[in-house]
Amino acid sequence: MLIGTCHCGKSGFTLTGDPGPATACNCTLCRRYGALWAYDYENDRIAITGAPSSYRRAGPDTSFLEILFCPTCACVLAWRALRTDDDGRRRIAVNLRLAPPDAVADLPIDHFDGLDTFEDLPSRGDCVRDLWA
């Protein structure tokens, strides 16, 4: 199980099983947060702990997702879809930067163009450890 916590320890997440690759997105929010995301479904393999606050950006796409963050130290925990899939499950992605570095250091990084094309970018062959070198 992968456990991530905010700086003050009042909020966090658990992710059971293989987190898969970390995703780095360049959209207007993710590039500001500097988050690395791991995806699954809320209360399936991912659970949020504590009592986070949420932020929904203004504009025409406000019905898509919300950002969850610790109300005390403001660390970004996750994004969560505002709508459920056809099967009733809700997509969620947790910020792997809140996990212990050794637990995520070898995860490959997938780059995603959330700013212009909304498509995966070619692999660079880097992993999380490369960001901290």
Q: Please state which CATH class domain 2-131 belongs to.
A: mainly beta
Q: H/E/C letters for each residue in the chain?
A: CEEEECCCCCCEEEECCCCCCEEEECCCCHHHHCCCEEEEEECCCEEEECCCEEECCCCCCCCCEEEEECCCCCCEEEEEECCCCCCCCCEEEEEHHHCCHHHHCCCEEEEEECCCCCEECCCCCCEHHHHCC
pLDDT band, very low/low/confident/very high, at 88 (cuts 50, 70, 90): very high
Q: Is the pLDDT of residue 133 over 70?
A: no
Q: Is the pLDDT of residue 6 over 90?
A: yes
Q: What is the largest CA-CA distance in the chain?
A: 42
- pLDDT at residue 61, rounded to an integer: 61
Q: Is the pLDDT of residue 57 over 80?
A: no
Contact status, residue 49 vs residue 42, Cβ threshold 8 Å:
no
Q: What residue type is 40 in one-letter code? A: D
- pLDDT at residue 106, rounded to an integer: 96
Residue 79 CA to residue 91 CA, distance in Å, equals 9
**C-alpha 64: how far from its chain's center?**
15
> What confidence tens digit (pLDDT) does each residue in 93-114 have?
999 999 999 999 999 999 998 8
> What confidence tens digit (pLDDT) does each residue in 13-55 have?
999 999 999 999 998 889 999 999 999 999 999 999 999 999 9
Q: Is the pLDDT of residue 84 over 70?
A: yes
Mean pLDDT of 126-132: 90
Phi and psi for 113 in degrees, rounded to 5?
Answer: -90, 85
